[in-house]
Every structure is written in C-alpha cells, then in structure tokens.
Amino acid sequence: MAGAVNPCPGLIGQPRACSRLAALLESGSLPSLLFAGPAGVGKRTAALQLARAANCETGTGQPCGECHSCRTIASLHHPDVKVVFPVRLPKKRGDEETIESVVDKVLELSRNYTLVRAQPPAQPQLSISIKLVRWLRQEMARPPFTARRRFFIVLNAHQMTDEAANAFLKILEEPQAKTTIILTTNRLNSLLPTVRSRCRLVRFAGVPAPELVSWLVNDRGVPPDTARMSAAVADGSPGRALGFIENPDDYLSGPALAFFASGGAGEAEVLAALDELRGTPTTVVVSTFLFLYHQALRARHGVDTDLAPAIAEPVRRAASLPDDYLRRVIGYLAGRLREARSPIEPRLFLYTLLSSLRRPS
C-alpha cells in the first residue's frame, strides 16, 4: 500500500485486507464486517486500527497513534469502542447480576487484548454467552459519547453459543447509525449462515515465513535463530510467533516432544508420557505432534526446517519414516485437533492419542 492511506499500519502480510478496508473507509460506508482467516494473523489488530483510523483527530483516514482517540482505543479505554471475547461464565443466580458479572470479567481481562499485546491463545472450551450479547444491545441503545463512529468488536465470534448467535442476528438486522460491528473468526463455517450473510467478508491470509522472519528481526529485535524457529512454529501467524517467543510451552509441549523423539515404543512410555502431560491442554499436545510430523514430512522432501537443535534431531529421525505413513499420521492428528476443541475427557483422549502414535518398528 505504498503511498496510499493505510488504515491498519503495523499489520504485516495483509495487503488485500488493508486495501479493502481503506476503500470502505474512504467511501464513508463501514457496514458490519466479518474478518475471517487463520488465528493470530492480525484480525483483531486490523479491527482496532480501523476504529482508530475512523476516529483519529487528524482526519487523514489512518491512525496517528498520538491523539487522545487513538491512544484510548489502543488501550481499550475509549467509551465508544467495545471488545468482547469468550470468557468462562461466573456461576451466580439472577440474570441481571450475571450480566454484570460477565461484563466485569470481560473488562478485567481486556488488558490482554489491547493493541500492543499479542492476543492470548484461543480457549475453545470458553464461550460468548447471550448475556454478553444482551449487554452489547444495551450499549448500542445509547448514543455515542465522543466518537464520530463507534465500534463493537467480537473476537472469536464462532464461540458464541447458539442462543447468543441468534440474539446477535437481531443486532445485525437492526444496524445503528454511525456504528460498525466487526466479527473475527478463524472458523468461518462455524458461524450461522444468516450471520455471515449480513456482514461484509474481509479475508486475512497467513504470512509467508520469510516475511515473518524479517518482521521479527527488524521490527521486533528478535535474534535471527529465534525468529526462524518462531516462524516455523507460527505457521504464518505473527501472533503465534510472538506468543511462542514469550511462552514457548503454550505452543510446544516438552513431554510431547520427548515422546515423539522416543517413538513411543511401548505401554510404559505411553503411561509415563501421560503422567507428564497432566495439566497440559489437549490442543497444545495435539498441535505439538502435528507440528513435529509436518516438519518431518518437510525434511523428508528436502525442505529446510530452521528448527532448534533439540527439535531438529528427532525430526530428522522421523523423516526416515515412509512418506505415506507421515501423511496418514498428519491427517489423523488434524482430526484429533478438531476433537480436542470439543468437550472431552482429557486423560482418555491423550491415552488413545499416544497409543495411536506408536511408530512401526
């Protein structure tokens, strides 16, 4: 977007999405929007930057980052920019009390969703309840306080309960003046078709690894070796790359790596790994194995992996496995990852997973 107005500065690898948002902003028409794409590629960042651009005191069509409006939106302190996301419901009696408790929880956790921070990893067991949607409707009924255009941003919208999604549909059917609703999702098909049809779709893509490495090194000051490893784990997601640098255990499980390295030869190894994995989210365990087997398949076909030595050696050994076997394992793990995002019994799930990953002798 060289030379053009950019409503989402600092967002890498999304030229099409940014160009489309710039055109919408310039036209003066900002309908309800649906940002769809992989997790961690900048959908939340784009939503907040668009809110800043629409309300920046400079009136240039892109955020200056310095005015009061830009600063308060970035910190989620602006009265006309609301962000909601999946949370664990408090267990209290009384509908109104529960609405207040849920809102208090969202406001308490909102510091994790400010513009300067990497968004926390999604927790599929959490949800956006109808009580949050009712709160949004209450907020929309009030006129804006100071903004030229107010924004309601719903992160991970696919985690709305069925009841909440149906209630949210009514919000989309009755748009308020000078108000833009933005939904974000990495699971587009999990949203109600009627919700999707009432929003303007803006697609976001994964960021190519070389561009991601360059950004980490030049913009974030990450050492090159760490940047390459982070880009490998990130799979095109800047948010995931930053999250890995800050908390690697949230993305790669040490016990899962040890099991992968050993080949999980027998029942004793399965039971030992099962104990070591106690308390580790099942999605992290499956994602770790999926990453490792993907890297083994890449190595088998001569693709550079840019992995840390502790990971590169077991990946190299796994790369000697038959090509068809590696592909079948990857397909199996992709299915188990979808299952891990649903309510399950963790220990039984992990036992069957580890038992299935014993390698052929």
Return the bridge partners of 151, or none. 81, 180
Spell out the domain ranges in the chain.
15-203, 252-356
Number of H-type helices and E-type strands within the chain: 16, 5
Amino acid letter at 120?
P
Nearest to 79 by CA among 65, 66, 68, 87: 68
361 residues of the chain, pLDDT tens digit each: 444 678 988 899 999 999 999 999 999 889 999 999 999 999 999 999 999 999 999 988 899 999 999 999 999 999 999 999 999 865 655 544 567 888 888 888 999 999 988 788 778 888 999 999 999 999 998 889 999 999 999 999 999 999 999 999 999 998 888 999 999 999 999 999 999 999 999 999 999 999 999 999 999 999 999 999 999 999 899 988 988 998 898 899 999 999 999 886 688 889 999 999 999 999 999 999 999 999 999 999 988 777 888 899 999 999 999 999 999 999 999 999 989 888 789 999 999 999 999 887 6
Model confidence, pTM: 0.84
Residue for token pair 């600063």 = 71
> Top-level CATH class of 252-356?
mainly alpha
Q: Could you give the angle at the alpha carbon of 39 between the alpha carbons of 37 and 41, nearest 5°?
A: 70
CA separation, residue 275 to residues 260, 278, 347, 360 (Å): 15, 5, 9, 23
Which pair of tokens denotes residue 299? 């190595």
Q: Could you give the angle at the alpha carbon of 338 between the alpha carbons of 335 and 339, nearest 5°?
A: 90
Contacts of 203 by beta carbon, 8 Å cutoff, 6+ apart: 16, 17, 36, 37
* CATH architecture for residues 15-203: 3-Layer(aba) Sandwich (3.40)
Q: Are 337 and 283 in contact (CB under 8 A)?
A: yes
DSSP state of 307: -
CA distance 355 to 266: 8
